[in-house]
Amino acid sequence: MPIGPSPFIKWAGGKSQLLNVLIKCAPQTFGTYYEPFLGGGALFFKLYSMGRIRRAILSDANKDLMNCYVAIRDNTEALLTELELLQEHASEKEFYYEVARPKFNKIRLRTGLDGDVAKAALLLYLNKTCYNGLYRVNSDGEFNVPWGRYENPRIYDEGNIRKVSKALSDSRITLRCCGYDLAVAAAKENDFVYLDPPYQPVSATSWFTQYTPSSFTEEDQRKLAETFKTLDKRGCKLLLSNSYNPLIDDLYKEYIDRGNILKTLAARQISCKGDGRGRIYEYVIYNYPLY
């Protein structure tokens, strides 16, 4: 059986390692699929490959990320040409600091749906050559992750880029760049909404939230929980991932008390130190019966 498209970018909290759990938790039938914290899009690509997507609205507030999705969809050949040139410098520390990172920060996007090829190619280059594949920006929105010291890293997979482009070019798939609240505003009964926000930190030094110049705060987690409950009342089918954390326990208590929850282990970076990796518990919360 041919292998379908898969995530083309490393993203903090990526769901590739939890994909089997999420697929088991996904509803059997649903209308439009919404993924408003798109990141690497692991669950979307898997559901699409399985033929389970009738229509999808994919979005993220991160302009750099969504620009990359649009560039892959609309400017595949030009992007692959840029990536081939950047690949020649994949192991060069000086190129990373003196050329790639400054050029990336100099290019300013208007909407996040610009489809800027140079910006998209540089994002993939930085993503595969920076420290731990992190995406982190300062208060001015400038990418500031240090070089990762990899030997001969491969910054792209041409075959997968082409598969992703084909999937995103499907007329049933819509890309948006906006906050999650706007992204799901039109979700209705029987639509499936997968919420994978920046995780509530499990320690004071966790790196889970700095995806945009404004980090995802505790107050943002509370607002998201209210959106979850609003969509639940609307009849949407909801699936949410987050860290195993007292705040999350409190915000989703009614669902946890009903048993609409799985607690699973995942390998995550749990501090800002290079050796701060470990297996931690994560929550998968839903509002419908599992079959």
- Please write the tens of the pLDDT for every residue from 170-190: 999 999 999 999 999 999 999
Q: What percentage of the chain carries pLDDT values higher than 70? A: 90
Question: What pLDDT score was predicted for residue 268?
Answer: 54
**pLDDT digits over 1-48, tens only?**
568 999 999 987 667 778 999 999 999 999 999 999 999 999 999 999
User: Between the CA atoms of 246, 241, 26 and 127, what dihedral angle is there, to the nearest 10 degrees?
Assistant: -170
Nearest to 43 by CA among 57, 71, 22, 74: 22
User: CB 115: neighbour CB atoms within 10 A?
Assistant: 22
Residues 232-239, mean pLDDT to the nearest whole number: 98
Least-confidence region, from 207-216, 224-233, 237-246, 279-288: 207-216
Q: What are phi and psi of 162, to 5 degrees?
A: -70, -35
Read off φ and ψ for residue 34, nearest 5 degrees: -115, 130
Rounded Cα gap, residues 204 and 188, in angstroms: 38
Residue 278's pLDDT is what?
Answer: 56
* Three-state DSSP class for residue 284: strand
DSSP code of residue 258: T
**Lowest-confidence pick of 16-20, 61-65, 125-129:** 16-20
The domains of the chain are located at 16-61+178-286, 68-158
What is the model's pLDDT at position 143?
Answer: 96
Comparing C-alpha atoms, which of 156, 168, 162, 81 is closest to residue 117?
81
Between 169 and 267, whose confidence is greater?
Answer: 169
Least confidently predicted of 89-93, 253-257, 273-277: 273-277
Confidence check: pLDDT of 158 > 50 = yes
What mean pLDDT comes out for the span 107-111?
97
The answer to whether residue 276 scores a pLDDT higher than 50 is no
**Residues 224/247, Cβ–Cβ less than 8 Å:** no
- Domain 16-61+178-286 listed as CATH 3.40.50.150: yes
Interval 97-102 mean pLDDT: 98
275 has a pLDDT exceeding 70: no
Which pTM value belongs to this model? 0.92
- Cα-Cα-Cα-Cα dihedral sign, residues 13, 18, 23, 26: negative
pLDDT at 267 over 80: no
Say which CATH superfamily domain 68-158 falls into. Adenine-specific Methyltransferase, Domain 2 (1.10.1020.10)
User: What pLDDT score does 272 carry?
Assistant: 46
**What mean pLDDT is reported for the chain?**
91
- Mark 245-281 as b/e (b = at least 16 C-beta within 10 Å): beebeebbeebbeeebbbebebebbbbeeeeeeeebe
Separation between Cα atoms, residue 157 and residue 40, nearest integer Å: 14
pLDDT at 146 over 60: yes
How confident is the model at residue 274, as a pLDDT?
Answer: 47
Note the pLDDT of residue 191. Answer: 98
pLDDT score of 280:
75
Percent of the chain with pLDDT over 90: 78
Pairing state between β 237-243 and 192-195: parallel
Residue ranges with strand state E in 62-149: none
